[in-house]
Amino acid sequence: MLIASLLIGFSLAAIGEVMVLTTLSANKLSNRASGISDSRTASSRIQSDVRAARNFGDSYDDPTESSATHQSNYFPCDSNPLYRFDSGPQHTSTLWTWSGWPTTWGSPPYKLDAQTLIIQQPKLLSVDSSSTLNSINGFPLEGTITNGRNNLDTVIYKLIQDPNQAGEFILQRADFVGEDTVPGASYTSMVNPPQTVVGGIIGPLPNDGGTFPEVFSYWVRNAEKVSSPSPLRKLDLSELDSNPGATKYIIGVGMDLELRKPDSRTGNSNAAYQQRMGIHTEAFLRYNKDMSALN
């Protein structure tokens, strides 16, 4: 009986260890799958927004100049006819209610940098097929606001500290819409407060020892119009400090994310189950041609 008891004990211990290892492996695999799914959702959403955009930064920089040649790396810039950073939108809408600037983002204006992506998209409308307006359904409305400027929606992605977990960050998205100019048309609504796109971000951290991840990088062309293919290079963000209008040459964005799953939102801090992974993706404006990469 003693020998039988020992054999049974060893067998149960072996079976128990196999079950623990199986559970641990299953949890790790589940967390990794969750991280891959979250990162893919975030990258797909950013790629979709960038491909539908017409410019980076705020193209309302100077109402006396063409918006195609004058832009700012701040939103809202000083001469934005629709928004002011010390108040809110300078127009009214029946589709949304202004709820103030995002309280978790700090005070505006917001600066295009490694933690903040600012793009602008043409203002699109949608009307019923039976409407007399259906001939312009879905087309950008341009030249219909103050000083004949293009009517634009501004989309901002911003990385902020996770309020529930030190060392983790979350990426949020807000949409500050353009003006409603056609009666009877349907427009996209403002997205504010911001939506959380992905959490559990822990990197990549800057090489200088900083603790705030650098998520976004930007590709620029060397000239606005050239007769030969325009080579691309990665933008040194310090260039925008002395020349904010250089945002007009940005034609693409790179996104790097290092995630830790599960993140603080799950409440599970057991390091045995955590999985880390990194992704890189790039997206370019559709309105580009004759470009080549500069190695």
User: DSSP characters for 172-214?
Assistant: EEEEE-----STT-B-PPPEEEEEEEEEEEEEPPPTTS-SS--
Amino acid at 167: G
Amino acid at 236: D
pLDDT in tens, 83-134: 998 888 888 777 778 889 999 999 999 999 999 999 998 887 766 555 555 5
pLDDT in tens, 180-192: 777 767 778 888 9
Block residue for tokens 């917001």: 110
Please give the distance of CA 86 from its chain centroid, rounded to a whole number.
24
Non-local CB neighbours of 160 within 8 Å, separated by 6+ positions: 104, 105, 169, 170, 172
Q: What is this structure's pTM?
A: 0.82
Q: Give the separation between CA 142 and CA 124, rounded to whole angstroms.
A: 10
In 3-state terms, what secondary structure has residue 132? coil
Q: Give the separation between CA 188 and CA 196, rounded to whole angstroms.
A: 18
pLDDT in tens, 213-254: 999 999 987 655 555 556 788 888 888 888 887 888 898 999
Residue 100, burial from CB neighbour count under 10 angstroms (0-12, 13-18, 19+): exposed
